[in-house]
Amino acid sequence: MSRKILRTGTAALAAVLLPLAAIPAAYADPAPDPSAGWQDPTALTREATAIAEKAAAKQQGARAKAAPSAADLDAAVDALIADGAVGVTARVETPDLEWSGAGGVREAGKAKPVKDGDRFHIASNTKTLIATLVMQEVERGTWTLETPANDVLPGIFPDGVTIRHLLNHTSGAPRGPEELIYERIEDPTSWDQTIDALGQYYSETEHLAVMGETGWLFEPGTDFSYSNYGYVGLGVMLEKETGERVEDLVRQRVLEPAGMRQSAYPTDARNRGPFLEDAGYYEGEWRPMTDLHPSIFHAAGAATSTTEDLADLNESLLTGELLSPASVEKMLPPIAGSTDPDYGFGIYRVADPCNEGEYLYGHDGAHMGAQSISWGSPDGARQVTLGWTGRNWDSTDELYDLGLLLEPMLLATC
């Protein structure tokens, strides 16, 4: 069942929000999460970064082979599905090759095949959209990177947290949103209760209240810790400052200029049109995960897209169509202390297999039962985009080898 969001004006949102977010008196000690379904959000980044490094070593080695062909990439899609992934859609763009492929099924337990233009939850790739909007506000002079977050949303953050800290995950904010969702689950081992909770609406107010209650992990600017709550905060800040809904800002100022016609920032749980639905492996079987509400992530991961549109986003951003080249240059360099990922502002870098010492830039996304990667060269000429479904909710073990497809896709760009 679709659950529609009831939106209030941004002024009303701020009025409700401010009294609810409690700033911790002391910094919290991050506790290990006992649930396999809530894996470390940077686990995919580390896995993918390692695959990129392996591809670079292979390409630059003495026995480097010719770049994989379109037929090789088709076979690699089949190999990933045979190894256990539920559904896959993938794309490679270079000056000499434009390939797309798909395999598996759109929904676990059903027979409808995936098509290469199917949409999927892009999860944390949404952060690139939000970071772009924030940098547009910096260009307009609304904010600077050093603007205190409390100047925009008074009383929500510890003193010293700036827009820069929220963009590059050095604010010390906790991860989220699992604490928020577990508040609505009586039995964390119940699949039905978990799916029901993932289909419910969560306000930005609730996200930021739980962020404050959970506690900050460290003093701002002293360490790196990936935070979904921090990006929810940036989304609320954008709405308060502009007086517009974040979904409208995303559409008008990023999706439309980038030509991303199949992408959206949805506000209800129904996936319209051909869609690669999330799938979770639980108690030894694949289970469909449909009607997941975008408000479980808001500005940290609500968007949906296709591989072609994600490639268009990277190309448009990296080549200066969405931001000035000077702003793009501020986004790309990794901050001190951020390794795996080498993270900048809503974007990170991995080894470019084709050019030793150079990098591809982009993001990945890990949704509840779907994952995605979008990387491109700084000149926009080479793109690798990939969306696939199937995540392990029984344990943290990998169920299939992502490198079977991602590695040849990377090598095909050389």
Q: Which residues pair with 273 in a beta bridge?
A: none
Instruction: Give the model's pLDDT for residue 341.
Output: 80
Check if the beta carbon of residue 378 is closer than 8 Å to that of residue 318: yes
Note the pLDDT of residue 251. 98
pLDDT at position 33 over 60? no
- Taking domain 10-411, whether its CATH number is 3.40.710.10 is answered by yes
pLDDT value at 21 more than 70? no
pLDDT in tens, 214-235: 989 999 999 999 999 999 999 9
In the prediction, which pLDDT does 63 show? 64
Over residues 314-331, the pLDDT tens digits come to 999 999 999 999 999 999
pLDDT (0 to 100) of residue 64: 63
Domain ranges of the chain: 10-411
Residue 312 pLDDT greater than 90, yes or no? yes
pLDDT band of residue 62 (cuts 50, 70, 90) is low
User: pLDDT-derived band of residue 10, with 50, 70 and 90 as boundaries?
Assistant: very low
Write down the pLDDT at residue 121.
Answer: 98
How far is residue 24's CA from residue 20's CA, in Å, rounded to a whole number?
12
Span 95-131, pLDDT tens digits: 999 999 999 999 999 999 999 999 999 999 999 999 9
pLDDT in tens, 227-274: 999 999 999 999 999 999 999 999 999 999 999 999 999 999 989 889
What confidence category does residue 40 fall into, taking pLDDT thresholds of 50, 70 and 90? Answer: confident
Residue 3 has pLDDT above 60, yes or no: no
pLDDT (0 to 100) of residue 340: 67
Question: Does the pLDDT value for residue 36 go beyond 80?
Answer: no
